[in-house]
Amino acid sequence: MVKNCQVMESKITTKDFELRKMVKSFREAIVRTFPLETVRNIGIIAHIDAGKTTVTERILYYSGRTYKIGEVDEGTAVMDWMEQERERGITITAAATLCYWREHRINIIDTPGHVDFTAEVERSLRVLDGGVVVFDAVAGVEAQSETVWRQADKYNVPRICFVNKMDRIGSDFSRTVDMIEERLYSRALPIQLPLGVESLFYGVVDLIERKAWSFSDDPDIPPQEIAIPELEKTKVDEYRQALIERLAEVDDRLMLVYLEGGRIPPNQLKAAIRRLTLTNRVVPVLCGSALRNKGIQPLLDAIVDYLPSPADMPPVRAIDLSTSEDVYYKARDDAPFSALAFKAVSDPYMGRLVYFRVYSGRVRVGQQVLNSTRGEKERIGRLFLMHANHREEIKEVDTGDIAATLGLKRTFTGDTLCNLGKPVLLESIRFPEPVLSVAIEPKTKADRDKLSNTLIKLSEEDPTFKIRYDQETGQTLMSGMGELHLEVLVERMLREFGVGARVGKPQVAYKEAITQPVAVEGKFIRQLGGRGQYGHVCLKLEPGDRGSGIKFFDRVRGGAIPQEFIPAVERGVREALEGGIVAGYPVVDIKITLYDGSFHEVDSSEVAFRTAASIAVKEGLEKAKSILLEPIMKVEVIVPSMFLGDIIGYLNAKRGQVSDIETRGETSIVRSLVPLAETFGYATNLRSLSQGRATYSMEFYYYQELPLELANQIVARVRGEVNA
């Protein structure tokens, strides 16, 4: 019915305004009547260039959401709506949309594959119920495939796999399935087999229904059911039997039927696959070629059949702010309202658009809600269902839906929205720290006024984009996840906000850490007539595990420091750690314990305790033998085997550590760990060493201690003892 309304609306001329308005209102009424069990919130995730956006474009076309297929290579993809995305042919920002299939409503987020934009994947997976992981049938499991898989594991997101590009030379469905098991440690369950190989790929066999389907390159010709080819029947029987056995191994209900020797009908197999997929014990695997319009309809069927609805998910856990105890909300419209804001977008024309996912209850236009993360009241402005950068205005958002709203001025990524009378706090979203910095300055005086406002807007929109003002050099430093990340942000400043800026050379975002525990004391005492200032703290500084960040513990006993001054002490500690004593870089991986101190009944204040804490931390960093840490990147190079020796030699020269070499025919895959400082100009050098035939991917791995000789060079440069 929804699809019919969309078809009607597309055929109405722009002059028939009243009729168009009526059809739109009717369609909105239908949207609101979708039962919760028929809603799917899914993300399309994968390594860069695996075909995520192409898959999404075909899903939208075959479900009737769009009436012309968008192509990434031609810059016409609906989901890649930004100018930079269309120019580069990659996805930069996660785009939301929705479609309808078999009387189900599917909310989709198409995510980026490039590691520089990993925050988009992180925040999308935090609010999604299921995922479709796309793999390149030639490359199989790639570096970023592992990253997004780990992110999905982190949030326990059930998923299905789609092996794309089956029509390409070198495609291998079985090898990709094996790689999913070996490299992603998952129980891959092929529920289809491909018909034809490489350029002769033409269809799939459904192992559950034991049916074969042939697809045409013409997107308007529906799939044709055909007889299973004689040469494939034995293989189909073997794979179907293996599928049943693998399901019976982990599903008790199916095991009973299997042991009794009874025939297992397709509906029982589907029910077992759904049960096991929802608990992440199996991952169904399908195949196709999105660019050639093959295999998309069965993929849509699998999304409906195997991925969860909001009603299938466990109740969402939250902290009741009135009691500080855990509460659990079921996905029901009549439950108290709770939602998580997972994305904020600064639109130069519309204002701030905040995306949110409703976990329980419902919210209407004009309703006042509480931002419990910041303790602020907000009023819901206009509400929208999003279709990439197009907005469809609605009046109400129900449980399980993903929508966007205007009017939330103080709500940011990771904030909880809830009822005023039922304040709760949902688990927020943690993002990786930026690893690369550049200095930025305005080109003209007119740009100077706009630059700071634009930087603030972009940092509110992107949690991995940080801004810092260096007091010593007088420079504004912007930090991000990589060169491409920062390059895109600078382009957006110019195109979207009209701000011209000059950008310096990329600088590695080093960190500092301590190597031994120390106990220190900080006092701040001032008496200038009248009321003075008195703050006294005793701190213990200890090295933390790599990646643990900053941890502050309050161990004061006996009221040595009144409780109201403890937050001021923590603020002073964190402010002092923003710039270390070695080279002024932020201090990380440290545990700070406040264990004693003293106060004055009249002269003590928050300012005094904050200053005392800062004094103590600075002294402690001097005593605790601080060191410099550098970011290490995990690099995967794919190169013809004839150039393998040159590539390994180059990696070794760049302080790289080769961890694994895999050979696939005439191609070698080299996995290594390389310091970020050595990766500038990487792409150009790899091409020159391999006659332009090597490709690589890179992602942040961890921080490790910088060799002393290099650390001394950086310290000397920072202190102006040598030229930069």
Amino acid residing at 406:
L
Chain centre distance of CA 70: 24
Pairing of strands 283-287, 159-164: parallel
pLDDT value for 15: 39
Q: Which residues pair with 475 in a beta bridge?
A: 470
Positive or negative, the CA dihedral 227, 233, 236, 237 is: positive
**pLDDT tens across 44-99, in order?**
999 888 888 899 999 999 998 888 887 766 656 677 666 766 666 666 788 889 99
* CB-based contact 89:71 (threshold 8 Å): no
d(CA 559, CA 578): 29
Amino acid residing at 552:
F
Please count the CA atoms within 13 angstroms of the CA of 584 that sit on its side-chain side. 13
For 148, list phi and psi in degrees, rounded to 5: -65, -30
pLDDT value for 521: 93
Residue 27 Rama label (left phi>0; alpha psi -120 to 50; beta) = alpha
Long-range contacts of residues 150-156, Cβ cutoff 8 Å, at least 24 apart: 151/45, 151/118, 151/121, 151/122, 151/125, 152/45, 152/125, 153/280, 154/125, 155/125, 155/126, 155/128, 156/280
Q: Which residues contact 84 (CB under 8 A, 6 or more apart)?
A: 92, 488, 491, 492
* CB-based contact 508:436 (threshold 8 Å): yes
Q: Which residues pair with 351 in a beta bridge?
A: 347
The pair of structure tokens assigned to 600 is 């004055």
* CB-based contact 512:714 (threshold 8 Å): no
d(CA 423, CA 417): 9
Long-range contacts of residues 459-462, Cβ cutoff 8 Å, at least 24 apart: 460/344, 460/346, 460/352, 460/412, 460/413, 461/343, 461/344, 461/345, 461/346, 461/413, 462/119, 462/489
Residue 541, SS3 per DSSP: strand
Residue 612 Rama label (left phi>0; alpha psi -120 to 50; beta) = alpha
The pair of structure tokens assigned to 282 is 């199996």
Torsion of CA 481, 487, 488, 489, to 10 degrees: 80
d(CA 75, CA 61): 16
The pair of structure tokens assigned to 308 is 């969860």
* CB-based contact 327:349 (threshold 8 Å): no
Q: Which residues pair with 45 in a beta bridge?
A: 133
Q: Which residues contact 593 (CB under 8 A, 6 or more apart)?
A: 539, 540, 542, 552, 553, 555
The pair of structure tokens assigned to 330 is 């079921």
d(CA 723, CA 301): 62
Mean pLDDT split into 10-residue runs, the chain, 724 residues: 46 43 44 79 90 91 86 66 67 84 92 79 92 94 84 93 95 94 92 95 96 93 94 93 92 85 87 95 96 96 96 93 90 93 81 92 94 93 87 91 91 93 90 81 83 87 84 75 84 85 83 93 82 90 89 90 92 91 89 92 89 94 91 86 88 89 83 87 77 76 88 81 48
Q: Which residues pair with 627 in a beta bridge?
A: 513
Residue 64, SS3 per DSSP: coil
d(CA 581, CA 494): 36
| Cα-trace Rg, the chain | 28
The pair of structure tokens assigned to 80 is 């890649």
* CB-based contact 201:138 (threshold 8 Å): no
pLDDT value for 18: 47
